[in-house]
Chains A and B, each alone.
Chain A
């Protein structure tokens, strides 16, 4: 078996983890290259090769599995950089995106602007056609309408077209024909058809989903093709796997067609890693925080289950896709501090990004960032930043902070501390949002720290919200990439086939299940992963007549008999009762949608147990550095340690700084850092 590589591209850094069977071989971090993201990926692979003393080509040709997560799709929507999209819709529905769903919760506040629609109404063009709920054509498609719409879009220079017609989920013939006409009229224009991307009922949700898909598709496809080509050129023979919003991975071809599935690709792996470490530490509940260069993400694991949302939303737009639930705030190491006209200091959401990056990176950045504040306060040891591979300028950091200190009429140190405090306040707000405001008491949780900048803040954040323990993996700086190595390869297929319990159509349903099974097996065959264990699971969405929300229940196998059906019905009544406190056992049960999951349980990483050596960490101490660890504004000599030399049992008393090749961990006063059996750290407050 060859290597397994997982790469996660963030706004500022590109992270990589590499393993051989179940053994972690290394982790690497290298600046993201926004003008050509694949370059940053290759740079990172180069670093991994260097460590193993082989060339990039040698490494990639010996790599079996390449896993990739990226925020490219998310950023396109968040930064409103999605391409200009025209929508083709059924006559009488052009206001669908503008109309949305209603359901305003802030009902008594009128000093607010209306929500911005995904695509303005004038860009939604209607075509005459109509299909009914049974799939019958009531009005034929007016092809002239389609052609003139496409020509209009061409005149307006739209860069993508999305198509969403009523009831295309039952009969897609008109959407398919529109696809042909678009190809005929304007072969170059990329387009997405709603029935093809995600055949979900409810026209607004489907239109939002397909339009998001169309808006990011040119950007994502272009990127993934470049990546695929670059990897192939360097000798990688396999099919890259892409991290999707649900926290699984799928082959690149699936994502190129449906990039809307990777909207939450980047951060969705953090909870996978968080759960991994929480379990190692016998914790069932954890808060995962991930602070990178541009953002601060929060996710939760409750009772060993990652908190998910049935339908992820981005800027309130429904995506139609299930995902791991992540709250993202604009508070990263690169977030820019600024002072407004009334003298109020704020941090973010603007970020210095990868280029130019914080002022101290010496790449032309002049604005004060959180990282600059940390350098000024002495939290980051310049000689050891990124393992000494990247030079830092404390002088430039100070200069940038001066720009904030001046208008506030305070010392540079005080301004730097202020920037850190405000950034921390924002993070506390984010954590409370995901916990306390949902009635979850964070005091019963452990924090798992991830991301390049989190180690600087994790212990003091935990203090603020009264969390007793912070787990800091050695892989903290590359936590998402690490999660990729532990993620299952899984593909889900759905089929909408209705049947009701008193007139159950065994033949139709068993045939449907058989087809789903074939699709799953084909997926596994395409992957050709020999040493993995494959699992096939089947589910059905069921409800009582007249309900519109289903409960999903697992099937025992893919062939239903009268016995297994009667068990299925009992299971449904029981699940309805457990979930909603009532059941209607005299009622029939409707079965609506069938789903199969084909899963390759890839062997995860096994952390090696280290033998206990000593509790004394003095051998790991590198030196001392001037830093400010309290409000007194006085610099003091703070010891700093080489984290790689802290072995099982070693205990570091705060105040101290622990440097790892890719991040820095702050141990505040009154805290201690303990190295665990499997090599990761725990920070606790002294009682």
Chain B
């Protein structure tokens, strides 16, 4: 039936090249582009309904999933793609998923060819076959109406376990695919809306907490089938041709709007570089990450050149093809006007040149990419932010916290139920950098998330995991000082209840701080350590990447990074500094020494001592020229 069985390494073009008409013409309806004459009201309704369908897909997973990364943190994205694997809408999505959906589907379309039918469901979690990283299970269902392909429904969900030798989806030591757990490079899990039982049994055998996984699997299936039903209803209402026509039209609008946006940018070529995280045993001094950016207003193109990136590492910090592409997109979208609709029509105007065998390029088989969505992908996104600061200073944002040690995976055996568990923490978030006119936002986590994930509730967490959360706090002075202050980050103090807990960390942001811009100072860095519970005596420092143990009489304290500042701190409105001090975001010392603001603590709301403040700022101006 198939030409021949393909073995890795797979051809890179199979996940990168645009799908051509002749590759899908054997799927009924796949090449139909629908009606071209559509009235504006119908178009608005169909687009709004598509957003409604995506919301319903999202709600289905939030309501039915059984693992806290999904129901609590919402580390997943639901959307629709067209027959050529182009993303039609991005709405309420995880940034690190934005550019990674299309390559995974292209691989499936090219592998299954004419063997794609109504009622099929495929999974692709294999980074060497177009997926982001193995922990993200991307499930696809083709949606047919009257036997013709309308679109693909997709959801990408971060699972708690994928059968890796260690109980995590992010182990620094997983140097190749054989140490990452199960990889499913485009595998059909359902036919005719029925799951293939032997395959599900096989997965249940190999994945830890299999009942929990099965619940999450049902939840992903439900979300796809809800979408399928709703898209069919939409075709019933407006006709198949109208719906397809509307879908194609949104891609055209995306492309046109993005081109118009880029036409307003300067024609420019810039280079920028950034030191990476230092990782013991793999890159103890860090590696130098380099990008070149060409903006071509005439063609309406943004081109990032990653080909000077350093060689891939023998650990899991390498980016996959999908996330290397995505890092440029997610680093660029913050400077794009919000009037540009987010879909592949727009996103395809951002091109990335990659080299095989580099840390941020095309990974050479079978190197590990388990941390491809966080880790260096966050650092590269920060590098992209920094590059844009040279092009559009007024739109640029300062450095953002990267995926933090505070969000690591913990595992152990619940002393009450005697059941093993793994948990990834979403209690504390790092913060964003400031931009001209606005302070950095808190609660963003990292460039891979940008605040789209939710915090988990202490009570819900304690119900699911044998932990006591003793403290969940805003970190004083974490925001990089500036005229516009970097976002304030959070930290946590956690004790395992009556058992030994195993911590697997794999973060960045521990050796470098989020950069400031135009006189703004960097934000605080990540940190974590162990203290004795009753006395709070310091016991030991914990690594940014590695494995550690925590005893039941100990506390784990973890801090995430603050955002970078923008502009000179002594130009900040003293009233804002006063409010920050009052709420515990900025210390008196920082206020006085860096912001040059003196505060009187007598009244309830504090007040600025303007005389002393002016004197201090004046003195600084004379002595240091204000620098």
Contact = CB atoms under 8 A, between A and B. Distances in A.
Interface stretch (A99-107, A298-306, A514-522, A648-656): A99-107
A104 B92 CA distance: 8
A102 B604 CA distance: 29
Interface string A103-121: 1111111111110000011
Contacts of A122: 582-584
A431 to B, nearest CB: 13
Given A133-B463, A138-B468, A108 B334 contact: yes
B603 to A, nearest CB: 10
Contact of B459 (A91, A112, A202, A584): A202
Contacts of A583: 218
A537 B473 CA distance: 44
Contacts of A205: 457
Interface residues of A, number: 58
A107 B459 contact: no
B408 interface: no
A582 B74 contact: no
Contacts of A93: 458, 472
Contacts of A545: 66, 211
Interface in B429-452: 429, 432, 435, 437-445, 450-452
Interface stretch (B43-51, B131-139, B314-322, B360-368): B43-51
Interface string B300-339: 0000000000000000000000000000000001101010
A651 B303 CA distance: 67
Interface string A536-578: 0000000011111100000000000000000000000000100
Interface in B456-479: 457-460, 462-464, 468-474
B438 A107 contact: no
Chief secondary structure at chain A's binding surface: loop
A95 B474 contact: yes
Contacts of B470: 91-92, 130
B157 interface: no
B229 interface: yes
Contacts of A121: 474, 583-584
A92 B454 contact: no
A103 B453 contact: yes
B457 A202 contact: yes
Nearest to B336: A108
Interface in A66-102: 91-96, 98-102
Contact of B212 (A91, A113, A546): A546
B490 interface: yes
B111 interface: no
Interface in B54-108: 60, 62-67, 71-72, 74, 91-93, 95
Contacts of B582: 120, 122
Given A92-B470, A582-B219, A103 B74 contact: yes
Interface stretch (A21-29, A370-378, A433-441, A597-605): A433-441
Interface in A131-160: 132-133, 138, 155-156
Contacts of A109: 334, 338
B145 interface: no
A109 B445 CA distance: 15
A116 B65 CA distance: 31
A581 B438 contact: no
A317 to B, nearest CB: 15
A101 B218 contact: no
B450 A98 contact: no
B219 A95 contact: no
Given A102-B454, A436-B48, A580 B60 contact: yes
Interface string A344-372: 00000000000000000000000000000
A548 B72 CA distance: 9
B493 interface: yes
A435 to B, nearest CB: 9
A582 B225 contact: yes
Contact of A580 (B226, B342, B490): B226
Contacts of B1: none
Contact of B473 (A92, A436, A437, A582): A92
Contacts of A389: none
Contacts of B453: 102-103
B584 A580 contact: no
B6 to A, nearest CB: 32
A106 B458 contact: no
Interface of A: 91-96, 98-114, 120-122, 130, 132-133, 138, 155-156, 166-167, 201-205, 436-439, 441, 466, 544-549, 576, 580-584, 587
12 contacts: A95-B490, A114-B441, A203-B457, A439-B45, A439-B49, A439-B52, A546-B66, A547-B65, A549-B63, A580-B60, A581-B221, A581-B229
Closest 10 CB pairs of A and B: A439-B49, A104-B451, A546-B66, A92-B471, A581-B225, A439-B52, A103-B454, A549-B63, A580-B222, A582-B222
Given A93-B472, A545-B211, 20 more contacts: A92-B470, A94-B473, A95-B472, A99-B474, A104-B450, A105-B92, A110-B438, A111-B435, A202-B459, A203-B458, A436-B44, A436-B45, A544-B64, A547-B65, A576-B64, A580-B226, A581-B222, A581-B226, A582-B218, A584-B218
